[in-house]
Amino acid sequence: MKKYDSYRVSGIEWIGDIPSHWAVNKVKHNFSFKTGFTPPSGKSEYYEDGTHMWINISDLQEKEISDSVNKITDKAIEDFKPEIVQKGSLLYSFKLSVGRVGFNTMDCYTNEAIFSINPDSSTNLNFFYYSLPDQILKNANENIYGAKIQYFGKYSIN
């Protein structure tokens, strides 16, 4: 049983017909995103007594992330001027443990192994929470040891 009033040919054989009001485009055109940063680990002034949530891959354990094991200081933010990751963003690990995902429940920062997809009213990030890990892993390269890797450049995925 069809659920929409009208359909059209998608132009992609395996998809077939789609609702007339749907668009067909590459996943990367559905959202804006950014990668995080990591202050030098040997510099205690960037971590000691830090108060700003700084999510790394080990924090991506649940669907919703409300805290981080490590925090960064005001000095780290002053020196590196990272963009804040908006509350409700989808976080995705693309280095080492590729494919871990979660949503941040408050504004935060992430390390360089995570990209964040900003929430907006036109994109259902819940859909991408479930589908993106599989989509990206299928298209990932492998390093010399056979581990999946993604390289997106310093600030964007192309």
Residue ranges of the domains in the chain? Answer: 1-29, 31-149
- Name all contacts of 15-21 with Cβ < 8 Å and 24+ positions apart: none
| pLDDT, greater one: 154 or 26 | 26
Q: What is the pLDDT of residues 16-41, one digit of tens each?
A: 899 998 888 776 677 778 999 999 99
**pTM over the 0.85 mark:** no
Residue 156: the pLDDT is 33
Q: What is the pLDDT of residues 64-87, one digit of tens each?
A: 999 999 999 999 999 999 999 999
For 31-149, which CATH superfamily applies?
A: DNA methylase specificity domains (3.90.220.20)
Query: Cα–Cα distance between 155 and 146 in angstroms, integer?
Result: 25
DSSP, res 40 = -
Candidate from 48-57, 58-67, 144-153 with smallest mean pLDDT: 144-153
Give the distance, in angstroms, between the CA of residue 53 and the centroid of all CA atoms in the same chain. Answer: 16
For 30, half-sphere exposure in the C-beta direction (CA atoms, 13 angstrom radius) is 16
Residue 98: the pLDDT is 76
pLDDT at 47 over 80: yes
Residue 140: the pLDDT is 57
